[in-house]
A = this chain, B = another copy of it.
């Protein structure tokens, strides 16, 4: 197993991820604090103490928005201080302490509006979900800077839950998984095994029908079958993925082999049959659900931002458990695509659903499927979830093990090594595939460098010597035991690639996508010639793709040669042809043009209009 290096060990020095952290600190987090006021999430809590009058506003789980924002600031505090946010943090922690009931209960909706239903309707109440986020925030502050007042509030509530639902108490689970992973993190932070036992208990009580039945069905709540029996990812995507992360945490701490096998089955279901090329997850707007295997429509992709974040959390835990590069590959896929696309270039506007195709005349369809990013949401789970992820991004870059150091995500970083000394990484990733690792003291351990699934080759040198590039579990191995390492250089060729979908993915049959390195590309109306709609562009089956300069908004562009425009539109939706003939009625125009593609994650930052990742070849 691999181990995290610890929250203070890695500093992102520059480049894509560091810029994202800066944008998060200067844009997203202050914006989130404003929105917690504007959305009345804080007022909801002030109603408990009598500091605010009025109705509860928003969804009944809006406390979690507050907790996720506090968690983000906690990680920021550990990363480079959070002085500017302390007035908000101190006031909010104080408010929470005063709002908490004597028995530990804390939930702004139930305490004021429905005290008689407290902890009685966990199918929909989200009470343990909110507690989970409170605990995660407490863990962040404790781990990052040793501040424990927030964790203490969470623990008081957790103790009430343990008395009520722990061994010997009622058999019950929460309709929205999240508490499981939080409890394991609390165990790690406090060393108290009862939290691990409670997490495992919550995992094992699923699938027994404890939540009862409603129109959404038991799979929506992850109560359709025991986790140990699961074969397919199903139901509400975020619930499924948070649960998977929690189960992985339980496996990590207990070594439960049966649960580990269930996770393997679930992982294959998600990543081999139900995932978008962007790393987005969840094919259905209805019930925010995973669809059937290979049901992956690009236009109606729900691909909720929170699902991609949950998937990163889960894959990180799988990576720690197994050391397999495929998990880090999926983290990378999500990070540079499904997650990055969710935030505007100023860090203050967000997507909730993340389609891979927007038609020219798309009507939007409510706040969950906007044609433009939104400043906040009535169900505002995603923006503060992004804030907490980005503030902790440096934690996912590298790990350690008994044998040495493993690099998973490539970024300019300074890494304090467990045995002393530092490693410095320099790279132009994700736009350039060269990665240089310098050790200030010769490194005698094993350095593992992930060979990304997208890479067609790799050139590796250690202090000028060529190193074989056979991968072990997807990692290139540089052994410093004979020749301690000072400078290791990995060159990953980063040519534009044409991606083809599995033929069972019906929704994108006859289409190709374009990527370069880990970055998926899309075409956008803003780059098309006058009079050409994104709906009508056709590219060759095997198009030539080459770099096409850097745009200040979208970043590095690609040019797809030989694109044409389909013309001759007819009114009929369906046309019969004698069986011996094919349809020549929509032959593309004869003049070819160079089609500009931009990183998918940067789309929607210019003029509104159509967008598509999958490009028809006919």
Contacts and interface: CB of A to CB of B under 8 A. Distances in A.
B285 A359 contact: no
A506 B616 contact: yes
A369 to B, nearest CB: 9
B577 A234 contact: no
| Most chain B CB within a 10 A radius of its CB, from A501, A504, A536 | A504
Contact of A572 (B289, B502, B572): B502
A500 B542 contact: no
Nearest to A572: B502
Interface in A219-262: 232, 234
A326 to B, nearest CB: 10
Interface in A455-501: 456, 495-501
B295 A300 contact: yes
A6 interface: no
A456 B285 CA distance: 41
Nearest to A290: B363
B586 A503 contact: yes
A580 interface: yes
A38 to B, nearest CB: 19
Most buried by B among A498, A502, A506, A578: A506
Given A273-B573, A499-B574, A574-B501, A359 B293 contact: yes
Identical chains in the assembly:
2
Given A499-B576, A572-B502, A582 B292 contact: no
A264 B504 CA distance: 39
A272 B504 CA distance: 28
A57 interface: no
Decide if the interface of chain A is mainly helix, strand, loop or mixed: loop
Interface centre among A273, A366, A543 (most CB of B within 10 A): A366
Given A293-B361, A501-B573, A501-B574, A580 B544 contact: yes
A558 to B, nearest CB: 11
A215 B513 CA distance: 35
A454 interface: yes
A495 B579 CA distance: 10
Contacts of A507: 297, 506-507
A578 B217 CA distance: 44
Query: Most chain-B Cβ atoms within 10 A of its Cβ — which of A454, A507, A566?
Result: A507
B577 A299 contact: no
Contacts of A292: 299, 359, 361-363
A511 interface: yes
Contact of A300 (B284, B293, B535, B571): B284
Given A507-B297, A583-B500, A574 B513 contact: yes
Interface string A199-217: 0000000000000000101
A573 B500 contact: no
A284 B292 CA distance: 16
Contacts of A570: 502
Interface string A261-300: 0000000100111010100000011100101111111111
Contacts of A291: 300
Contacts of A300: 284, 291, 295, 297, 300
A289 to B, nearest CB: 8
A89 to B, nearest CB: 33
5 contacts: A285-B286, A286-B286, A292-B362, A504-B535, A507-B507
9 pairs of A and B residues whose beta carbons are closest in the complex: A510-B510, A497-B576, A285-B286, A500-B583, A286-B286, A509-B510, A277-B574, A503-B586, A272-B571
